[in-house]
Amino acid sequence: MREDEDVTLQPRASSVGCSYFGVRVVRHVRRDMADLAARGYTGVLHTFSENDLAYYRETFGEIVAASHEAGLTVQVSPWGLGRTFGGEAESRWVAFHPEECQVLDDGRRVAAACLNSPAYRAFCAGWAGAAIDAGVDYIFWDEPAWVVPRHVGVDDASRWTCRCAHCRERFGADIPRELTPEVRVFREASVLGFLREAVADVVERGGKNTICLLPSTEGAQGISDWDAVAALPGLSVFATDPYWKHWGEPAGAFVNRFARLLSETCGRHGVGAQLWVPSFGLTQGEIPDLEDAIRGARDAGIEDLWTWGYEACGHMSALATPDAPRVWAAVTEALTGAAPLEARTTRSLVGLVNAADDTVADAVAAAGDSLAEAIDAIVERLGRGGRLVYLGAGTSGRIAEVDASECSPTFGTPPGQVIAIAVDEFDAEDDAELGRRLVREAGVGRDDAVVAISASGSTPFTVAGFDEARGRGALGVAVVCAPRSALEAAADHAVVADVGPEIVSGSTRMKAGTAQKMIVNAISTVSMIRLGRTYAGLMVGVVQHNAKLRERARRNVVLASGAPEDAVDAALAASGGDARVALVALLAGVDAEDARRRLEGAGGSVGHALGSAR
């Protein structure tokens, strides 16, 4: 088997896509596009609203480029454009052009552009041109239809449009106030004429088109003749979105019915067939319906399957449910039929690991409040002469040892102020008595802050050692990656970074280990800043073990003091190379002996020593 072969062990759609909206920070988009690709998606649909057109046009081009860099095909939707397409975005155009808006059968004008308005058609052409300039692969004409009355604040569902002057001109007479068969034909022909013009314009600009119709062949918004749409010159893909909950229908049968209509229609006209299923607004109990819907589509021969939307729209409160993460996992598995790890290419695996790691920072950020509270409590203990004591086993213990070993050379902490009680042997992780004994031997007491690190929060060595430390009056801080653990329950402060399942099940050296390292980095670094072990954001306490560190210390004194380099060299020589002493001497205008005395009185804090000098 070649390394570059794309091997899967389960059937999967030839194209699998997802909608994505609401994010305009390109670095975040880039991360999410990598995540989509790593999960097995091959396409993304970006929304491009009127607001985007006005304020994010160049940014949108960067978003499209980022999507292509991730290997995704890009569709773009006119989200809420003129209120004639799907989407929650509002329309600027209708506010600026009320005279071009639709007129209800009762004569009221409503906030939705008329599909027969030449000005609105020109605006849509300009929008499509901007999207094509941004580099998209397909213009996705999303649910084109006459306005749904409730979408513009009209509660009477029997109302219909449009009876404006543009429609009257195309109709060739006054339009009846009743929805006669002749009017129904005219309304459908108007939608078709709008699409014919829009599709042709895109093709002329070198683009490709997808048209997505509502799953309806009757009623005020339905299109009865799907063949007429599929036959439009320049159409590449014909789609529908049978969101069964919206129509009050059973998932499998409803989706299968429209999937068959779509498949047969596209087969007659030689265009691609694409079907969308919802992942928003679903609960865990509705996941079987979602799976039935996908099976129904595949049974009808649809191989191009998409879902709305990314992470089951968990980021949008109006569309989210508490079960959005579970729904997202389910729809992804059902759509992509992703291969086992062992059958994937090396590049695919690298992308999968990268995408998983990207979620760690969010998990740590979510614990930011509890982390800050824990650090403040740790600083209080250190400020009264106590120690920062890390406690852990295995990967967690090694993380503890690394951070403890870096504090003295980085911040100039006194020997023994930051220590690690850790074991590396696998069998030692289960030795609860060893944990207790090592805590006792370290003399842990009430002035100390003990930070217990464990991914599961249940490691016997760590739990027992933590219990011993808490019994001796020490402050207890738990750093864990599993909610509701034994360590969390026993702690004064618990920092819980819920990173979710690992790529390789149970391998807590991965996301959990990364989260733990990020948290202890924050604990030691922020604690040292609060204790005054930095000055002006510089490592003024760095221990000068080699030429590189000696030059770094010298450069920090130059930057922090603003003194000439010869004066800095003289101050460092007088202080015996202690950068903090040299800095206090220079900034307070005292000799090295006085500077050292002031530092000692300030607990080693340059800032406090300078404050006392004033």
Tell whether the model's pLDDT for residue 401 goes beyond 90: yes
Neighbouring-strand partners of residue 479: 453, 495
- 33-37, 40-44, 82-86, 513-517, range with the lowest pLDDT: 33-37
Residue that terminates a domain, selected from 530, 561, 577: 530
Shared domain for 477 and 579, answered yes or no, is no
- 322-336, 433-447, 587-601, range with the lowest pLDDT: 587-601
Shared domain for 414 and 496, answered yes or no, is yes
- Mean pLDDT over 100-116 rounds to 96
Number of domains in the chain: 2
Shared domain for 467 and 598, answered yes or no, is no
More confident residue, 221 or 115: 115
pLDDT digits (tens, 9 = 90+) for 2-14: 333 333 323 334 6
In a domain, 85, yes or no: no
Shared domain for 483 and 565, answered yes or no, is no
Shared domain for 398 and 487, answered yes or no, is yes
In a domain, 571, yes or no: yes
Tell whether the model's pLDDT for residue 270 goes beyond 50: yes
In a domain, 511, yes or no: yes
- Mean pLDDT over 218-229 rounds to 90
Shared domain for 429 and 509, answered yes or no, is yes
In a domain, 583, yes or no: yes
In a domain, 316, yes or no: no
DSSP H or E run through 462: helix 460-471
How far apart, in whole angstroms, are the C-alpha atoms of residue 285 and residue 563?
Answer: 69
In a domain, 296, yes or no: no
The answer to whether the CB of 438 falls within 8 A of the CB of 429 is no
In a domain, 554, yes or no: yes
pLDDT at 13: 41
Residues present in the chain in total: 614
Catalytic residue positions?
A: 406, 429
Shared domain for 487 and 423, answered yes or no, is yes
pLDDT at 576: 84
Tell whether the model's pLDDT for residue 125 goes beyond 60: yes
Q: How far is CA 575 from CA 241, 351, 566, 580, 594, in A?
A: 75, 51, 14, 9, 10
Tell whether the model's pLDDT for residue 175 goes beyond 50: yes
- Mean pLDDT over 428-456 rounds to 96
Tell whether the model's pLDDT for residue 345 goes beyond 90: no
Residue that terminates a domain, selected from 530, 565, 581: 530
If we measure between CA atoms, which residue out of 5, 4, 84, 7 comes closest to residue 338? 7
Residue that terminates a domain, selected from 501, 530, 559: 530
pLDDT interval class at 342 (50, 70, 90): confident
Shared domain for 512 and 458, answered yes or no, is yes
pLDDT digits (tens, 9 = 90+) for 178-206: 999 999 999 999 999 999 999 999 999 99
More confident residue, 128 or 555: 128
Shared domain for 519 and 590, answered yes or no, is no
pLDDT at 206: 96
- The CATH number linked to 377 is 3.40.50.10490
Q: How far is CA 315 from CA 23, 76, 124, in A?
A: 10, 20, 29
Phi/psi of residue 136, each to 5°? -65, 160
In a domain, 570, yes or no: yes
pLDDT at 12: 39
pLDDT at 339: 67
- Mean pLDDT over 486-509 rounds to 89
Shared domain for 477 and 558, answered yes or no, is no
Give the pair of three-digit tokens for residue 603: 């607990």
The answer to whether the CB of 191 falls within 8 A of the CB of 121 is no
Shared domain for 526 and 573, answered yes or no, is no
- Mean pLDDT over 158-177 rounds to 95
pLDDT at 546: 77
- Return the percentage of the chain with pLDDT > 70, whole number: 97
Residue 523 sits in which domain range? Answer: 363-530
pLDDT at 410: 85
Q: How far is CA 251 from CA 245, 259, 277, in A?
A: 8, 12, 10
What does pTM read for this prediction?
0.69
Taking the CB of residue 507, how many other CB atoms lie within 10 A of it? 13
The answer to whether the CB of 11 falls within 8 A of the CB of 337 is yes
- Mean pLDDT over 558-574 rounds to 86
Shared domain for 430 and 504, answered yes or no, is yes
pLDDT at 338: 66
pLDDT interval class at 349 (50, 70, 90): confident
pLDDT at 365: 94
How far apart, in whole angstroms, are the C-alpha atoms of residue 435 and residue 50?
Answer: 62
- Mean pLDDT over 296-308 rounds to 94
How far apart, in whole angstroms, are the C-alpha atoms of residue 289 and residue 295?
Answer: 10
| Mean of per-residue pLDDT scores for the chain | 91
- The CATH number linked to 587 is 1.10.8.1080
Give the pair of three-digit tokens for residue 469: 């430390």
